[in-house]
Structure 1
């Protein structure tokens, strides 16, 4: 997810309205069909598609789809590769926020750039600035993301269902795994009546995860921490068991030194990080560039130069959506982390 879906966490679990700027989570995966049919092959969104009307539990809400949605508005970047992977990205009529080209290959980036932009106005804390009237004017029937100023109720009155990443709901009781991603893809497949495309995408991603996991058995790195530094001297955050970064490290056979915390993301001081002293650091960042400026600022402002990873230059800047939330980009992120570890281990 990009800066447009930003929320800031409290000291406890995340709530939907107070999650960290730039942090995202997973789509709700509990869905039941109101009719007796089940979602089958693609029907191009025609009325009477099998499995519709469809009810979908998403955070505190129950979404209802009378037919597969045809007009998508993106208020976050995270869904792009899933929508593309199941063949419905051409239904996106507008987008808002930041969609870094570093996430996509040249062809996909060109298609994303062709989507009309409603707003790329991001405040200093990473929040998308947009009015819900601007969103409603696009006559969507589905909206991904719920920035401040946009409500489910207003969107529903205008005929649009809002899909929020489940991570915003404060569900911190389960350890994330790649099954989280596969369930998300399956849910997208149900929403758009592209179940077969969702299965094919999951199969391809599963093969890639398996290949990395098998190759990673030879890695010598044993511990890691994944950090999200706030710019301008703000708090430092790290990731616990509920984050997809833990799923990535598990696949690599590496211990997330903060995975004993159930929360997905939480504020951390330098002391416990220095005490854990992980072999490597992965630093998540947003926007343009290679992230080296972000890591340099972080290690300076948080007095982390004493960490072995910093001294050994074992610090990887990684664009946020390559680690969070659950999308095909986290598989590419897994591959990138693996390649980087092979390089630094020589």
Structure 2
């Protein structure tokens, strides 16, 4: 099950503690005004061959990599498409979590399945939780994962850098704020290229994404839409607001996110508010191979049958990897939606 990126205000004290630890010990991402390699006046600060050392920003703190990592430990599988974008999947020595099916292309699926899987627990937001001892046993030179997935302080103390993607940063520490856009995808591709010494591959991927974005066409008339996650057991639901990648994905598919006025990525919703917004289309996000369970859970929600989307038979489904966090799959998600809208 992917990390569901639930709202920070729903996090437990354990999450807050983990985030605090990360902020005290962790990382950092490139800024638009970063000097070019070797442009500094201090010869001792000049980068080595390959552009290293490289400094990036993760959740508001700086992380310096002296050389391109060759042994990456992934907490969760969400960032595999970003590693693929810079040709670095073969550098992953271990991962946690489950892989999606029918989402990756066959070559990437095979490469991801070949990565050794380490057993882990499941946190409150659905992401992997693992002990630092297990991570250290894999002898990584870079760990990538959410703030609440591991004791990053222990890893940093052991000399292992920990990078947290912007989508997993605590409030106020993410470099990606405001309304999401496809630029966030390309920024992350660029970031991974810098971290892993694969800037040429990153640029080639971004060029392809730019071309892919110019070819996207909306499906028919412009409609309003809401993306909802319904947790196992039902009874409640979580809409996705402006900072979620569903917002630009909807825009490209010819849909307007009815929750785009909310600056939370995902939050607990109410039936009354959903009825007031009354979207033309409802998109149910899910992680299983079969979408029947999420459709049944949605049908059981109070007032679901009163929605225009239900009455017009416009309830669609979309796999989580096509939305958050921002990866090249977010661009592919547009086609997944337009195909369903055209039926």
TM-score, normalized by length of structure 1?
0.84
> Does the CA contact (< 8 Å) of 1:292 and 1:317 recur in 2?
no
Residue number among 1, 15, 36 corresponding to 1:17 in the alignment: 15
Give a deviation string over 1:287-318, Cα, whole Å, max 9, x none.
x3222211211230343111121222211111
Q: Distance in 2 between matches of 1:87 and 1:156?
A: 26
> Does the CA contact (< 8 Å) of 1:173 and 1:263 recur in 2?
no
> Does the CA contact (< 8 Å) of 1:189 and 1:195 recur in 2?
yes
Aligned to 1:107: 107
Structure 1 residues 195 and 318: CA distance shift in structure 2, 3 A:
same
Give a deviation string over 1:11-31, Cα, whole Å, max 9, x none.
58999936xxxxxxxx97435
Aligned to 1:42: none
Structure 1 residues 33 and 234: CA distance shift in structure 2, 3 A:
farther
Q: Distance in 1 between matches of 2:256 and 2:4?
A: 27
Aligned to 2:251: 250
> Does the CA contact (< 8 Å) of 2:74 and 2:95 recur in 1?
yes
Task: Please state how far the C-alpha of 1:252 moved relative to its aligned partner.
Answer: 2.7
Structure 1 residues 93 and 239: CA distance shift in structure 2, 3 A:
same
Aligned to 1:328: 328
Task: Please state how far the C-alpha of 1:224 moved relative to its aligned partner.
Answer: 0.5
Worse-superposed segment, 245-254 or 117-126 = 117-126
> Does the CA contact (< 8 Å) of 2:146 and 2:165 recur in 1?
no
Q: Distance in 2 between matches of 1:176 and 1:80?
A: 20
Q: Distance in 2 between matches of 1:124 and 1:183?
A: 28
SS at match of 2:321: helix
> Does the CA contact (< 8 Å) of 1:94 and 1:117 recur in 2?
yes
> What aligned pairs does 1:55-134 form with structure 2 within 5 A after superposition?
55-119=55-119, 121-122=121-122, 126-134=126-134
Aligned to 2:190: 186
Question: Structure 1: 5+ residue runs without aligned partners?
Answer: 19-26, 39-46
Give a deviation string over 1:180-226, Cα, whole Å, max 9, x none.
111110011110111111011011112112111xx22x611411011
Structure 1 residues 165 and 17: CA distance shift in structure 2, 3 A:
farther
Worse-superposed segment, 327-336 or 305-314 = 305-314
Question: Structure 2: 5+ residue runs without aligned partners?
Answer: 17-26, 41-46
> Does the CA contact (< 8 Å) of 1:60 and 1:169 recur in 2?
no
SS at match of 2:250: helix
Worse-superposed segment, 144-153 or 155-164 = 144-153
> Does the CA contact (< 8 Å) of 1:132 and 1:149 recur in 2?
no
Q: Distance in 2 between matches of 1:180 and 1:228?
A: 22
Answer yes or no: is 1:174 the counterpart of 2:178. yes
Give a deviation string over 1:56-93, Cα, whole Å, max 9, x none.
11113211101111111111222111211211110000
Aligned to 1:199: 203
> Does the CA contact (< 8 Å) of 1:122 and 1:128 recur in 2?
yes
Aligned to 1:136: 136
Q: Distance in 2 between matches of 1:104 and 1:60?
A: 31
Structure 1 residues 79 and 333: CA distance shift in structure 2, 3 A:
same
Aligned length: 321
Worse-superposed segment, 124-133 or 48-57 = 124-133
> Does the CA contact (< 8 Å) of 1:15 and 1:169 recur in 2?
no
> Does the CA contact (< 8 Å) of 1:189 and 1:197 recur in 2?
yes
Q: Distance in 2 between matches of 1:12 and 1:146?
A: 16
Aligned to 2:318: 318
Structure 1 residues 6 and 333: CA distance shift in structure 2, 3 A:
closer
TM-score, normalized by length of structure 2?
0.85
Task: Please state how far the C-alpha of 1:7 moved relative to its aligned partner.
Answer: 5.4
> Does the CA contact (< 8 Å) of 1:237 and 1:266 recur in 2?
yes
Q: Which runs of 4+ in 1 moved over 4 A?
A: 10-16, 31-35
Aligned to 1:23: none
Task: Please state how far the C-alpha of 1:37 moved relative to its aligned partner.
Answer: 5.7
Structure 1 residues 272 and 232: CA distance shift in structure 2, 3 A:
same
Aligned to 1:24: none
